[in-house]
Amino acid sequence: MSSIFVRHGERVLRLEGRGGEPVLDVLRRAGLPVQAVCGGRGTCGKCRVLLEGPAGPQEALACRLPTADGMRLALPLASNASVCCGVSSGALSPFPLSPRGGAGAAVDLGTTTVAAELFDLSTGQSLGRAGAWNAQAAFGADVLTRIAYVMEHDGGLALLQDVLRRQVLSLVEELCRRHLPPGQRAGELFLSGNTVMQHIACGLSPVSIAKAPFSPPTLFWQEAPLEWEGLAVRLSPCVAGYVGGDITAGLLSCGRLLGGRSLFVDVGTNGEMALRCGDGFLCCAVATGPAFEGGGISCGMAGLPGAVRRMSWDGAGPVLEVIGGGQPRGLCGSGLLDALALLLELGAVDQSGRLLPPDEAPRGLAPWLERDQNGNGIFFFTPDRSLFLTAGDLRALQLAKGAVAAGIEVLLRRAGLSADELDGLYLAGGLGSSLNPQSALRIGMFPPQLAGKITALGNTALAGAGEALLSERARAALFDIARRCTYVELSGDADFSRAFPEHLLFD
């Protein structure tokens, strides 16, 4: 056993490591927020910690750093940052309150973030919200990497469940401490998350969701609550392995907006979508990878202070809008979409998605470009060349946008609709609330006919969970939505296989 000391914000924690195991494993057990996008394989470079030594702090990869007795290290500042948890819609809910005493919390179990909202169950009033980076990020950025962890480690599922449960309970406890009289705690929780997250929360193996036919052990259609340390816990019903309770809760929360022909899209590490058609919804999911959340991109980062969230060009060079102001440290999802749209507009990317080297790009861009070893370009957005996109980064974004666009095309085709017949597109999730619709249209992620019809809704999964917590009628409507969803499996679908490569191209 070795003791290591980890600075996390204001606190210094003493943690125990076993026989030189990687520091990442110790941080995981402690539920500390470290970004391990590749799941600890040493390939993403995102799990950096600051190792204190005689020569001052040095960066090191937590997954490659063996623990040593007395080691002192700090987590990067970004991992302490608070997380925006979206809007409350409790007050706007069309469903009547089912009043009872005490307090309860709605929780969005996002792959990247976990958000909670505390309510007074007698009045339906929202008392406060809190959010944090999902502590499971230390096990991988997306659900597939976390499933791989479960498959490859004895006790992996129990550890992931423990990390998630502890995080949810501590977020809710913190809310109670801040907003309730001393000693009072919440009695009920309503959770919504994707199918994998809900399985992990309940200690159910999500392994079958990773391979065809992608069937989950349960869709959580039973309404009876579970019990977590004295709390009654309900979960949102899922539709399929990759259309989960976050989507049904999202559809509940924006039910009054989704008119006759509208599309609901939640883009994160997966792209999940539902097309309102007649009395029900056609749903599908596409794999987008972590690119839209900054994962697996050279200068990608989450939407934290220092991230470029918007980008434009003033004729002389890029104009960057940085969260919190100051020096840019990376590009978050919305900044990445703007950057790609800008490169297309400038002619630095050709129709196939190739980032051009200086001698092939339009004249005038040469100072911003460099040729890489494969003959493609690297585009620099800052004079000090610290912020850039590579051809590989572009490819990841291209695959993600192509998958979303192809998914939309297949749903429209199944419904017998064309894009110009749609009344609107409603965007959920973190990226949805920050992205510039013009950029999403420019890169071809959404059909051009939707220009002017795109609305960002924020955290609809949390809003829907809040409604289901407060009202029995809302809960009944939520389960009714799940029953009215028809899942379209895209893996092996001939239409999707044809549409996907077409949507990789740029106009």
Interface ranges with ligand FES (CB under 6 A): 36-38, 40, 42-47, 61, 63
How far apart are CB 401 and ligand FES at their closest, in Å? 24
Q: Is 59 helix (H, G, I), strand (E, B) or coil?
A: strand
Geometric angle at alpha carbon 190, from 189 and 194, rounded to 5°: 130
- Residue number with CB closer to ligand FES (46 or 309): 46
Peptide bond before 501: cis, by omega within 30 degrees of 0? no
How far apart are CB 53 and ligand FES at their closest, in Å? 19
- Residue number with CB closer to ligand FES (37 or 405): 37
Closest to 163 measured CA to CA, from 207, 216, 109: 109
- Residue number with CB closer to ligand FES (43 or 418): 43
CA distance 146 to 194: 13
The residue type of 492 is G
- Residue number with CB closer to ligand FES (163 or 461): 163
Instruction: Count CB-CB contacts under 10 A for residue 367.
Output: 10
Largest Cα separation within the chain, whole Å, is: 70
Do strands 318-322 and 307-313 pair parallel, antiparallel, or not at all (unpaired)? antiparallel
> What is the dihedral angle through the alpha carbons of 264, 267, 269, 270, rounded to the nearest 10 degrees?
30
Closest to 190 measured CA to CA, from 473, 492, 461: 461
The gap from C-alpha 391 to its chain's centroid, in whole angstroms, comes to 23
CA distance 394 to 109: 29
- Residue number with CB closer to ligand FES (25 or 266): 25
Geometric angle at alpha carbon 36, from 33 and 37, rounded to 5°: 125
Please identify which residue in the block is written with the tokens 């129709």.
Answer: 351
Contact 50/76 with Cβ under 8 angstroms?
yes
How far apart are CB 329 and ligand FES at their closest, in Å? 18
How far apart are CB 38 and ligand FES at their closest, in Å? 4
How far apart are CB 159 and ligand FES at their closest, in Å? 16
- Residue number with CB closer to ligand FES (35 or 390): 35
- Going by the DSSP 8-state scheme, the letter that residue 44 receives in this structure is S
How far apart are CB 167 and ligand FES at their closest, in Å? 19
Which residues of 11-91 form beta strands (DSSP E)? 11-17, 48-51, 58-61, 72-74
How far apart are CB 137 and ligand FES at their closest, in Å? 10
CA distance 7 to 360: 48
- Residue number with CB closer to ligand FES (36 or 191): 36
Please identify which residue in the block is written with the tokens 């703007």.
Answer: 338
The residue type of 474 is A
How far apart are CB 27 and ligand FES at their closest, in Å? 11
Q: Which two structure tokens, joined as six digits, stand for 292?
A: 């839209």
CA distance 275 to 362: 40
Closest to 249 measured CA to CA, from 447, 480, 61: 480
The gap from C-alpha 202 to its chain's centroid, in whole angstroms, comes to 20
Closest to 463 measured CA to CA, from 98, 239, 129: 129
How far apart are CB 61 and ligand FES at their closest, in Å? 5
How far apart are CB 36 and ligand FES at their closest, in Å? 4
- Residue number with CB closer to ligand FES (45 or 217): 45
- Residue number with CB closer to ligand FES (63 or 144): 63
CA distance 18 to 26: 8
How far apart are CB 303 and ligand FES at their closest, in Å? 20
- Residue number with CB closer to ligand FES (43 or 455): 43
- Residue number with CB closer to ligand FES (37 or 168): 37
- Residue number with CB closer to ligand FES (142 or 272): 142
How far apart are CB 47 and ligand FES at their closest, in Å? 3
